[in-house]
Structure 1
Amino acid sequence: MTPEQMRDASLLELFSLEAEAQTQVLSAGLMALERDPAQADQLEACMRAAHSLKGAARIVGIDAGVSVAHVMEDCLVAAQEGRLLLRAEHIDALLRGTDLLMHIATPGDPNGEALVPAFLQQMASLLDPGAAPAAPPLAPAVPDAPLSPPASALPAIEAEAEAAVPRKSGKRAGEGGERVLRVTADRLNSLLDLSSKSLVETQRLKPYLATLQRLKRMHGQGMRALDGLKTQLEASGQSPEVLDALAQTQRLLLETQQILQQQAADLDEFGWQASQRAQLLYDTALACRMRPFADVLTGQSRMVRDLGRSLGKQVQLQIEGEKTQVDRDVLEKLEAPLTHLLRNAVDHGVELPERRLLARKPETGTIRLRASHQAGLLMLELSDDGAGIDLERLKRNIVERGLSPADTVAQMSEEELLSFLFLPGFSLRDKVTEVSGRGVGLDAVQHMVRELRGSIGLSQVPGQGCRFQLEVPLTLSVVRSLVVEVGDEAYAFPLAHIERTLEVAADDIVQIEGRQHFWHEGRHIGLVAASQLLNRPTVQGEASSLRVVVIREREQLYGVAVERLVGERVLVVMPLDPRLGKVQDISAGALLDDGSVVLIVDVEDLLRSVEKLLSTGRLERIEHGVQGARGASRKRVLVVDDSLTVRELQRKLLSNRGYDVAVAVDGMDGWNALRNETFDLLITDIDMPRMDGIELVTLVRRDQRLQSLPVMVVSYKDREEDRRRGLDAGADYYLAKASFHDDALLDAVVELIGSAQG
């Protein structure tokens, strides 16, 4: 590539940056002028932006850009001088020209110069309606302008283009605007990673400082002990040599004490200074990744306005908190859900002008978007002044889709009804349009928000509008977490997914449909073992209660039993090596204050693992703390029956007699329990789904470890051939449910394995 080609390439890139900044000024100004065409400051800003783009296009030799910017400038100057009143058609055309300039400035964009003649013709007819429409030639305003500037002009042009970014924030170069330096995202990530490691490393000084303080105390105790010894020796009349040796020892210890105190003070000061600098370094590196919330709103006001006009509505977007600082990664991931919610508000929320007038509302609908910081989170509130949600129509839709019975729907609260809007494929639109009705709706928004470790809520007032509330972290680089121990290893649950933590007594855990639950505040919460989910060994203990972390999935609560709650920590996220691929149930890693590694749990993935275990019947029962509390000598019985009533009856009878009872919902569930736990007796039904009792008994007798396990069959079938089938398969006892009573079952159990404490 020749030097001239290199020079031209750099100029085109600079022109593209200039166009990006100036078209944003044009879009914002034109949107304001649509509401009030006489705003002199906005007319001036738009005219200057068009003038700057015309000059920049002339410098780089893009004739089409010169022509488009020139005719836009003419229109704006006419409005400034009062020769033209900007109406909706003028704003439409100027916005179209703004888009066209961006196409022209984008290298390789096919929608550039080809559309210019039609645009120039449209503008000519708007500026002079009486003139015959004719497409003006695509020629620069100064025909003799060179396609490329001389090399001597290059520094000035680059300086002008570099000032584009400060102008975007309303500051001109030389008026206090900060210099802009381009740094790759990878280098910023590396800088943040190094600074976070430095911050953690400085925390490792704390144990050394604590040890030195302890050593100082022990040294002082030793000095006092020597003083006492000296007093005793003097009283006992020891020789001067002994007393001199003791005095020499005391002098040496005093010197070491002074050195120790000085070194401890110096190390303490160094540790404090190092931690302060490391914190400042990390905060500065993190600030480099932060951008104003306004950056995600580029073009959103325009999108709301254009979509509203296409639907025959008048809609304006009002934004608060544009300067709120957010991590760039969070901003990028927020763009899609925010766009969807804004389009949803325009399409579903704001009514047509005639309906708004009938409801005594302003003809123009308003959508408000507010951003703010709160407790380390970005709080977003998006509301509209539309019609709200027709709850009766929503109820009918729920029933028609078969999602819930009509009598149940009639008793649901408003919050419960609105939660259906977040289900996949749910839509209130009967017809598919370019905007709505495809079933890709709020579930996609909720999924994207949860990927950010955030949450979303919806409320509404009939006839007055809807309000969405989003909470997401300010940065993905730091996560506030609850650190727990599972299998003697540290894991972290992001606080955004935690409903609460509890200590559940072992006696409060109940079996319902083969799953463990406990009751809390009037509702039952499913209980799962973190050790099984995370493939960690179960640590048996003597505690009479379980530490439980309650996590929420929509309206469903799950309790995850852990060994110990370490406490809340602010962790610096360290992404896993991409060569590992997706690690099940884990999203990232981090370092604790002592330098040890902690894995951050992917709660969404963890919940999917719970559902998978439930659907396959492989969810293990939690015995941690329970068995130890009740005594290891108690006999354990496994009851396998697909009838909830029979299962619970047998469990209560045996539990009241002191046996430790576990239950399974069918043969497959029972077989999994037998392979993972130890029992003294198996009681099983015959007719069950997935695996019947005969198959289960057969498998037990073929297993070398289970061959000697006593087996009792309890069945409704009281025929001799059924009894023979059970006994032939290997059962030790056959009890018919038709003749079943309490004493018969208990007597049979005692006959097979003895009493509960035997």
Structure 2
Amino acid sequence: MTPDQMKDASMLELFRLEAEAQTQVLSQGLLALERNPTQADQLEACMRAAHSLKGAARIVGLDAGVQVAHVMEDCLVGAQEGRLLLAPEHIDALLAGTDILLHIADAQAERAARAQQGVPVLVERLQALLAGRAPLPTALAPLAPAPIEAPQVDPQTASDTVADNTLRRRSSDGDESSDRVLRVTAERLNQLLDYSSKALVESQRLKPLLDSLQRLKRIQASASRVLDGVRDAANTASLDPEAQAYLADARRLVGECQQVLSEQIAELDEFSWKAGQRAQSLYDTALACRMRPFSDVLGGQARMVRDLGRSLGKSARLEVQGVSTQVDREVLEKLEAPLTHLLRNAVDHGIESPEARRQAGKPEEGCIRLLARHHAGMLVLELQDDGAGVDLDRLRDAIVRRQLSTAETVARLTEDELLSFLFLPGFSMREQVTEVSGRGVGLDAVQHMVRQLRGGIRMEQVRGQGARFHLEVPLTLSVVRSLVVTIGGEAYAFPLAHIERMRRLAPEEIVQLEGRQQFWHEGRHVGLVSASQLLQRPDGSNSEDEIAVVVIRERDMAYGVAVERFIGERTLVVLPLDPRLGKVQDVSAGALLDDGTPVLILDVEDMLRSVEKLLMTSRLERIDPTGRLTGPQRKRVLVVDDSLTVRELERKLLLGRGYDVAVAVDGMDGWNALRSEHFDLVITDIDMPRMDGIELVTLIRRDSRLQSLPVMVVSYKDREEDRRRGLDAGADYYLAKASFHDEALLDAVVDLIGGAQG
């Protein structure tokens, strides 16, 4: 590359940086002018931005940019002088010009060429509007890519671009003495935050040491009192002088130890306090380096809301509070997609047409409000629209139409239970697919992305007044505030963001309802489950009179998880698990406690799914009235076979291994047993009178209560097509009687449901 080419490339890069800044000013100003076309300060700001871009485009030789900026400037000057009143069609054209100016010098040649192709049409359109003529209909087509699709930018490139831009602004202001900006890679910032967070946790390890020294001090004080008692007793007894000398030396040495220990404790206490303060300051400073204002995630969102509304024949605006709220850069980047989903959803499903809003006594322009704030170490986002809310009758119809539930059941559901269907994968209330919605990709994707951030989302609505979404995500993903508990003699941590409450249950508070242990919590019965069973840990000892319970919730699903004891709240540095382990069930990450003890951070969402699986198989452990965790009863197996010999052989084999066995003479007999009793496994033949094994398996898989019940087919038919027929019907295992032997059957049973006692 020649020096002239390098110079040209550098100038184009400078123009791109200036275009990014000035088009942002134009977009914000034009959106404000659409609501108040005569706002003098916004007119002035937009006119200056267009004028600056015209001069910059002329310097770098972008004639197309000069033409667009010039005609935009003429329109804005006309509005300033009162010769032109900006209407929505003017704003549309000026925003299209803003898009062209942003992309006209784009590094991607295809995008730049596409932008330049739209210049003649846009210039003619703006000139027609300026002259008071109607523009050509073809000019109404969008001239730039949809602003809702944010470009995929490499984090390193983005970081460097921001730093360069800031450096140039500082240089142009002539400020070289303070707040100098340096380019630092994102990787080094991550390392700095990692080291500082570990230093913060390490500094907390001094507190247990101080506590142990305080205990030693109390022991020495007790020893001193004992020696004083010995001295008093010696004064009344006749001890030889040598023994009295030893006693005096012992009292003197203990006194000296107490004095030295007191001094060391005081020094260590001061050092611990200062070290903790410095570690906290270091961590806060390192975290601040990664923090960005919430406004950084809002780039183009107000424009997207406005443009999407106009494309749907609606009028909508976005109001944001808390734009300066600081959030970790990684969290902020991952929030952009779910926020875009929610905003598009609010415009498409929430905001009504101008006619409908007039009839409802509302302003024609709909308003979407977004509030960002800090609360208890979390970022809280509240997004609310003043639209129509959710039509619960239409929602019920959609649930029934998609065969997600029966009409009778849906009619009995509460509002919260109905709204939970909106978060199901593939669910949509749109009957036809449009460019905006109807594909069933929406709130379920939002919920998934929020959960990946270890956060939560809930929805509220009032019909005719709008919907409200409440999101909570951590300010940073490097540390997590957790409740540490003991399960099976080991430490585990529940992220506080996923805990509804921690409480202690008296044994008499536990009741049996529908065969499950439950307790009364905030006006409803909540199921009680054993943490040791969920995590497959040995039963721990509970010496207390009450049971420690952590209440976890996801929308309308809540459970109490019984643990051995509470250790307390801790701030833990998140240590990701080795990716070679894959997804570990019920666990999200690791950490270290203050004393260096390893602790696993639990995945509460995964735990809720594990509880549901246990409920479906009715294999939940019970907690006895004394608070001890007890294992389940013997697992029950149903043997269905029309051959008496086979039934008896299989029954004796299973009884010998400790299973509880029931038998049925054919498929119909087995089906009746399954509907009236609980079983952990079904072993069935295929050829039987009244109902064969294939029909039985099919019925089991169609029953919502039994569809997860393991089923084994044992048949004399050893042909591949018979085996395929059984497995296609839904059987989990196929065993041919021709190759049947004792261990083969028992091994298969263990593979499917484990040992007789779980």
TM-score, normalising length: structure 1: 0.74
For 2:49, the equivalent position in structure 1 comes to 49
1:127-526 superposed matches below 5 A: 127=127, 161-162=165-166, 174=175, 178-233=179-234, 236=237, 247=248, 250-501=251-502, 502-503=504-505, 505=507, 508=510, 510=512, 516-521=516-521, 525-526=526-527
For 2:601, the equivalent position in structure 1 comes to 600
Counterparts of 1:531 and 1:387, CA distance in 2: 46
Return the letter of the residue paired with 1:300.
Q
**1:273 positional shift:** 0.4
Offset from partner CA, 1:337-391 (integer Å, 9 cap, x none): 2211211221122222222222222222222222222222322222222222222
Offset from partner CA, 1:611-636 (integer Å, 9 cap, x none): 45566x4x74426767997999xx97
1:28-47 superposed matches below 5 A: 28-47=28-47
Counterparts of 2:281 and 2:218, CA distance in 1: 33
CA contact (8 A) 1:517 1:524 kept: no
Counterparts of 2:309 and 2:275, CA distance in 1: 56
Q: Is the alpha carbon distance of 1:693 and 1:403 closer, same or farther for their aligned partners in structure 2, counting shifts above 3 Å?
A: closer
Q: Provide the secondary structure at the position in 2 that maps to 1:427.
A: coil
CA contact (8 A) 1:26 1:49 kept: yes
* Range with greater deviation from structure 2 (36-45 or 114-123): 114-123
Return the letter of the residue paired with 1:38.
T
1:691 aligns with 2:692: no
Q: CA RMSD in A?
A: 4.3
Q: Provide the secondary structure at the position in 2 that maps to 1:520.
A: strand
Q: Is the alpha carbon distance of 1:491 and 1:668 closer, same or farther for their aligned partners in structure 2, counting shifts above 3 Å?
A: farther
**1:88 positional shift:** 2.4
**1:117 positional shift:** 5.2
Q: Is the alpha carbon distance of 1:53 and 1:594 closer, same or farther for their aligned partners in structure 2, counting shifts above 3 Å?
A: farther
Offset from partner CA, 1:541-573 (integer Å, 9 cap, x none): 677875443322442333434333323323232
* Range with greater deviation from structure 2 (363-372 or 392-401): 392-401
Return the letter of the residue paired with 2:499.
I
**1:249 positional shift:** 5.3
Counterparts of 2:406 and 2:570, CA distance in 1: 44
Counterparts of 1:674 and 1:523, CA distance in 2: 43
Q: Is the alpha carbon distance of 1:76 and 1:523 closer, same or farther for their aligned partners in structure 2, counting shifts above 3 Å?
A: closer
For 2:95, the equivalent position in structure 1 comes to 95
Kindly name which structure, 1 or 2, has the bigger radius of gyration based on alpha carbons. Answer: 1
Counterparts of 1:669 and 1:355, CA distance in 2: 70
Return the letter of the residue paired with 1:339.
T
Return the letter of the residue paired with 1:50.
A
**1:197 positional shift:** 0.8
Q: Is the alpha carbon distance of 1:372 and 1:637 closer, same or farther for their aligned partners in structure 2, counting shifts above 3 Å?
A: closer
Offset from partner CA, 1:232-287 (integer Å, 9 cap, x none): 55555666666566555555554444333222211111111001110111112222
Q: Is the alpha carbon distance of 1:236 and 1:8 closer, same or farther for their aligned partners in structure 2, counting shifts above 3 Å?
A: farther
Offset from partner CA, 1:278-325 (integer Å, 9 cap, x none): 011111222222222111111111011111111111111111121122
For 1:706, the equivalent position in structure 2 comes to none
Q: Is the alpha carbon distance of 1:182 and 1:628 closer, same or farther for their aligned partners in structure 2, counting shifts above 3 Å?
A: closer
Q: Provide the secondary structure at the position in 1 that maps to 2:682.
A: coil
Q: Is the alpha carbon distance of 1:351 and 1:627 closer, same or farther for their aligned partners in structure 2, counting shifts above 3 Å?
A: closer
CA contact (8 A) 2:530 2:623 kept: no
For 1:650, the equivalent position in structure 2 comes to none
Counterparts of 1:606 and 1:317, CA distance in 2: 37
Counterparts of 2:236 and 2:227, CA distance in 1: 14
**1:478 positional shift:** 2.8
Q: Provide the secondary structure at the position in 2 that maps to 1:363.
A: coil
Counterparts of 2:197 and 2:363, CA distance in 1: 52
Counterparts of 1:417 and 1:65, CA distance in 2: 53
CA contact (8 A) 1:125 1:131 kept: no
Counterparts of 2:544 and 2:685, CA distance in 1: 38
Counterparts of 2:162 and 2:572, CA distance in 1: 42
Q: Is the alpha carbon distance of 1:312 and 1:215 closer, same or farther for their aligned partners in structure 2, counting shifts above 3 Å?
A: same
Counterparts of 2:505 and 2:400, CA distance in 1: 39
For 1:138, the equivalent position in structure 2 comes to none
CA contact (8 A) 1:638 1:683 kept: no
Q: Provide the secondary structure at the position in 1 that maps to 2:441.
A: coil
Q: Provide the secondary structure at the position in 2 that maps to 1:112.
A: helix
Q: Is the alpha carbon distance of 1:161 and 1:377 closer, same or farther for their aligned partners in structure 2, counting shifts above 3 Å?
A: closer
**1:668 positional shift:** 12
Return the letter of the residue paired with 1:622.
E
Q: Provide the secondary structure at the position in 1 that maps to 2:368.
A: strand
Q: Is the alpha carbon distance of 1:62 and 1:488 closer, same or farther for their aligned partners in structure 2, counting shifts above 3 Å?
A: farther
Return the letter of the residue paired with 2:77.
V
Q: Is the alpha carbon distance of 1:468 and 1:218 closer, same or farther for their aligned partners in structure 2, counting shifts above 3 Å?
A: closer
Return the letter of the residue paired with 2:682.
M
CA contact (8 A) 1:293 1:325 kept: yes
Q: Is the alpha carbon distance of 1:180 and 1:66 closer, same or farther for their aligned partners in structure 2, counting shifts above 3 Å?
A: farther
Counterparts of 1:158 and 1:462, CA distance in 2: 44
Q: Is the alpha carbon distance of 1:418 and 1:5 closer, same or farther for their aligned partners in structure 2, counting shifts above 3 Å?
A: same
For 1:154, the equivalent position in structure 2 comes to none
Q: Is the alpha carbon distance of 1:674 and 1:335 closer, same or farther for their aligned partners in structure 2, counting shifts above 3 Å?
A: farther
Q: Is the alpha carbon distance of 1:251 and 1:91 closer, same or farther for their aligned partners in structure 2, counting shifts above 3 Å?
A: same
Q: Which runs of 5+ in 2 are unaligned?
A: 137-160, 641-648, 672-680, 687-710, 712-740, 743-758
Counterparts of 1:234 and 1:245, CA distance in 2: 14
Number of aligned residue pairs: give it.
Answer: 643
Counterparts of 1:322 and 1:234, CA distance in 2: 79
Return the letter of the residue paired with 1:75.
C
Q: Which runs of 5+ in 1 are unaligned?
A: 135-156, 644-666, 700-728, 731-758
For 1:85, the equivalent position in structure 2 comes to 85
Q: Is the alpha carbon distance of 1:274 and 1:115 closer, same or farther for their aligned partners in structure 2, counting shifts above 3 Å?
A: closer
Offset from partner CA, 1:656-694 (integer Å, 9 cap, x none): xxxxxxxxxxx999999997xx67x76666654652499
Q: Is the alpha carbon distance of 1:67 and 1:455 closer, same or farther for their aligned partners in structure 2, counting shifts above 3 Å?
A: same
1:549-568 superposed matches below 5 A: 549-568=550-569
CA contact (8 A) 1:528 1:621 kept: yes
Q: Is the alpha carbon distance of 1:166 and 1:89 closer, same or farther for their aligned partners in structure 2, counting shifts above 3 Å?
A: farther
Return the letter of the residue paired with 1:555.
D
Q: Is the alpha carbon distance of 1:550 and 1:628 closer, same or farther for their aligned partners in structure 2, counting shifts above 3 Å?
A: closer
For 1:716, the equivalent position in structure 2 comes to none
TM-score, normalising length: structure 2: 0.74
Q: Provide the secondary structure at the position in 2 that maps to 1:111.
A: helix
Q: Provide the secondary structure at the position in 1 that maps to 2:501.
A: strand
Offset from partner CA, 1:460-513 (integer Å, 9 cap, x none): 333222222222222223323222222222111222323334537399465857
For 1:110, the equivalent position in structure 2 comes to 110
**1:175 positional shift:** 12
For 2:17, the equivalent position in structure 1 comes to 17
Counterparts of 1:671 and 1:51, CA distance in 2: 90
Offset from partner CA, 1:388-422 (integer Å, 9 cap, x none): 22222223333333333333333333333333222
- Identity among equivalent pairs (%): 61
Return the letter of the residue paired with 2:39.
Q
1:553-632 superposed matches below 5 A: 553-612=554-613, 617=617, 620-622=619-621
Return the letter of the residue paired with 2:605.
E
CA contact (8 A) 2:519 2:525 kept: yes
For 1:142, the equivalent position in structure 2 comes to none
Counterparts of 2:168 and 2:74, CA distance in 1: 23
Counterparts of 2:302 and 2:326, CA distance in 1: 20
Counterparts of 1:402 and 1:642, CA distance in 2: 33
Q: Is the alpha carbon distance of 1:56 and 1:585 closer, same or farther for their aligned partners in structure 2, counting shifts above 3 Å?
A: farther
